[in-house]
Every structure is written in structure tokens, then in C-alpha cells.
């Protein structure tokens, strides 16, 4: 990383401030989605905080102990530094670019992380925590659920992150198209690779998370659901093209083995079947929220 720590943090804070203002307070589409889930955004206060001296590769969402409508997404400096370096590596190794396109990659990854953490709140996951298990914190090792049930929550957060991210993904698509001057299919392949690489890089952080390939499929399927509901998402690509590009990129360009391909074939065509992704996880979430855990 060529920037000094001070300049790096200054740049990130400036853009994170814009992100939060844009995503959580001025995003009418997001407000509409939250209203459909019976969540009043006007009652929720959400901020971010960077633990500047913590080198751990971690991020979590925390609820204020005295105000259940106040939340903070906490980023450790080690997390930001690691993924910035990985964005530079992706830009050089995958895109063969040495310019600052890595900032676009880095911020897209951070938007995914934002909305994953945000989805824990939106999907009422905090209601599953107990006082004996970090009642006000949702992060690695922060609750009392079994690993399998915790994976249900992570998959649920990934899926809804994909849906909430649809507009951001379209914006990133347009930005990459301008910067790279490639056709629509090529840019979408890069988007798929970005999602895949993010979850691949996160896979070593904790056994509590689902397999990285499944997380990739889930988030991209959430994006496909958003496209199914709103044709303005990737307006230059129809739904069938979107599905086929996702499948091709995951199967061929990433050279997955037969077992991985079988998983994709079983999970990826959710729109054609008109069902939600991974019914068993939806059932798991409902049972957990209904208090039958």
C-alpha cells in the first residue's frame, strides 16, 4: 500500500461518510424495501467506526446497550488494509491494470460487507441473541446458536445483501465499463469474480461461515431476485443472460470441480423455478425467529 496510514484512513472515512449518507438516509429504494419488511428506517440510527489500531481482519455490527435502535458497524484497521491490498492485487493480476481502478473494487467489496452486516439488523437476527452471548454484538463467536444455525443467519444476510446491493452493483457495473471499455458480458463476469474472490478471501476467518462458493451463489442469487423484481437492474442485460453469465463464470472461468458444478446446478436457477434461494435456510430462519431453536 503506497498511501500512509493517515492518508488511507482519511480517504476511507470520506468515502464511508458518503456511503452511509447515500445508502442509509437518502436511498428511497432501500427505504421502500425496509418498509415492506416493517422496518422504519427513521427510527434506526446506524453509524460506522474504525478501530484504527486493531490489526485483526474483522468487522461486526453492534447494538447500543442503552438504545436498541442505534447500531454501529465496526471495521478493524487490519480488515481494511488487507482488502485494500487484495483489491490492488485483483486489479493487477486479473484486470492487468496498474491505475486506481482498485479503489472501485475495494469500495464494492466494502459495500457488500456493509449490506451483509446491515442485513443482520434488517432480518431481526439480533432478536436471536441472548444476554449470555454478547446480546448487543453480532460478529464471530458472538451468539449462543449452534454452528449450523449460525450458518443459516449468515446465508440469510448474504441473500438479502445481494438484493439490497442491486443498485450499487449496477453502479459498479457502469463504473467498470467506463474504466475498462469492455462489453456488458465481460464486465458482468468481472462482477461475479469480485463476489467470488471476496468470499474466497473471507473463507479462512471462521468456521461459523458457510462455504465460500455457497455464499457466492447466495449473494448472486439475491441479485438475480432483485433483477427479476426490477428490470432497471442491469437494464442492458436480460434475466436469462444474467443467469447464464453467472453460471459460465463460476463453472468455466474459475475452473470449479465437478462437485462444485453440481452445487451450482442445484442452486442457481432460482428465478426460473420461482422459489426463494435455499428453502431449508428460509425454514431455518423462520424457526429461529419463531423461537423454536
The predicted structure's pLDDT at residue 274: 32
Contact assessment for residue 136 and residue 77, using Cβ atoms and an 8 Å cutoff: no
Contact assessment for residue 16 and residue 59, using Cβ atoms and an 8 Å cutoff: no
3-state secondary structure the chain: CCCCHHHHHHHHHHHHHHHHHHHHHCCHHHHHHHHHCCCCHHHCEEEEEEECCCCCCCEEEEEECCEEEEEEEEEEHHHHHHHHHHHHHHHHHCCCCCCCHHHHHHHHHHHHHHHHHHHHHHCCHHHHCCCCCCCCEECCCCCCCCHHHHHHHHHHHHHHHHHHCHHHHHHHHHHHHHHHCCCHHHHHHHHHHHHHHHHHHHCCCCCCCCCHHHHHHHHHHHHHHHHHHCCCCCCCCCHHHHHHHHHHHHHHHCCCCHHHHHHHHHHCCHHHHCCCCCHHHHHHHHHHHCCCC
Residue 252 to residues 121, 255, 275: CA-CA distances in angstroms? 36, 5, 26
pLDDT in tens, the chain (293 residues): 667 999 999 999 998 888 776 655 555 656 666 666 566 666 777 888 999 999 998 888 888 888 877 888 999 999 999 999 999 999 999 899 878 899 999 999 999 998 888 888 877 777 776 544 445 666 545 556 677 777 778 888 888 888 888 888 888 988 999 999 888 888 988 998 999 899 988 876 566 677 787 788 888 888 887 877 777 777 777 777 777 777 777 766 566 566 666 665 555 443 334 334 445 556 666 677 666 54
In 10 A of CB 11, how many CB atoms?
13
Q: What are the two backbone dihedrals, phi and then psi, of residue 53, each rounded to the nearest 5 degrees? A: -105, 10
Domain boundaries, the chain: 83-289
The predicted structure's pLDDT at residue 15: 87
Q: What are the two backbone dihedrals, phi and then psi, of residue 130, each rounded to the nearest 5 degrees? A: -120, 160
The predicted structure's pLDDT at residue 132: 43
The predicted structure's pLDDT at residue 272: 37
The predicted structure's pLDDT at residue 269: 47
Statement: the pTM of the whole predicted model exceeds 0.85: no
Burial class (CB in 10 A: 0-12, 13-18, 19+), 27: middle
Q: What end-to-end distance do the CA atoms of the chain give, in Å?
A: 45
What is the chain's length? 293
| Burial call 162-191: b when 16+ CB within 10 Å, e when fewer | bbbbbbbbbebbebbbeeeeeeeeebbbbb
The predicted structure's pLDDT at residue 80: 95
CA atoms of 99 and 71, how far apart (whole Å): 36
Amino acid at each position: 500500500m503506497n498511501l500512509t496510514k493517515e492518508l488511507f484512513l482519511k480517504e476511507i472515512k470520506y468515502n464511508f461518510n458518503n456511503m452511509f449518507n447515500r445508502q442509509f438516509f437518502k436511498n428511497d429504494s432501500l427505504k421502500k424495501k425496509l418498509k415492506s419488511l416493517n422496518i422504519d428506517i427513521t427510527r434506526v440510527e446506524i453509524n460506522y467506526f474504525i478501530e484504527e489500531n486493531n490489526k485483526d481482519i474483522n468487522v461486526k455490527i453492534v447494538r447500543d446497550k442503552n438504545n436498541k435502535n442505534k447500531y454501529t458497524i465496526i471495521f478493524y484497521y487490519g480488515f481494511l488494509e488487507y482488502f485494500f491490498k487484495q483489491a490492488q492485487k485483483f486489479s493487477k493480476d486479473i484486470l492487468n491494470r496498474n491505475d486506481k481502478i482498485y479503489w472501485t473494487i475495494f469500495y464494492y467489496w466494502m459495500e457488500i460487507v456493509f449490506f451483509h452486516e446491515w442485513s443482520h439488523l434488517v432480518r431481526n437476527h439480533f432478536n436471536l441473541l441472548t444476554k449470555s452471548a454478547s446480546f448487543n454484538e453480532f460478529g464471530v463467536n458472538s451468539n449462543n446458536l449452534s454452528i449450523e444455525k449460525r450458518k443459516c443467519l449468515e446465508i440469510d444476510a448474504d441473500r438479502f445483501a445481494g438484493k439490497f446491493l442491486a443498485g450499487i452493483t449496477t453502479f459498479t457495473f457502469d463504473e467498470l465499463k467506463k474504466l475498462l471499455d469492455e462489453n456488458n458480458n465481460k464486465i458482468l463476469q468481472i462482477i461475479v469474480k469480485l463476489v467470488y474472490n471476496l468470499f474466497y478471501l473471507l473463507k479462512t476467518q471462521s468456521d461459523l461461515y458457510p462455504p465460500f462458493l455457497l455464499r457466492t451463489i447466495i449473494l448472486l442469487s439475491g441479485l438475480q431476485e432483485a433483477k427479476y423484481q426490477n428490470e432497471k437492474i442491469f437494464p442492458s442485460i436480460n434475466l436469462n443472460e444474467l443467469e447464464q453469465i453467472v453460471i459460465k463464470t463460476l463453472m468455466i472461468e474459475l475452473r470449479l470441480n465437478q462437485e462444485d458444478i453440481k452445487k451450482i446446478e442445484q442452486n442457481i436457477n432460482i428465478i426460473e423455478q420461482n422459489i426463494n434461494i435455499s428453502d431449508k435456510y428460509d425454514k431455518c430462519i423462520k424457526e429461529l425467529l419463531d423461537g423454536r431453536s
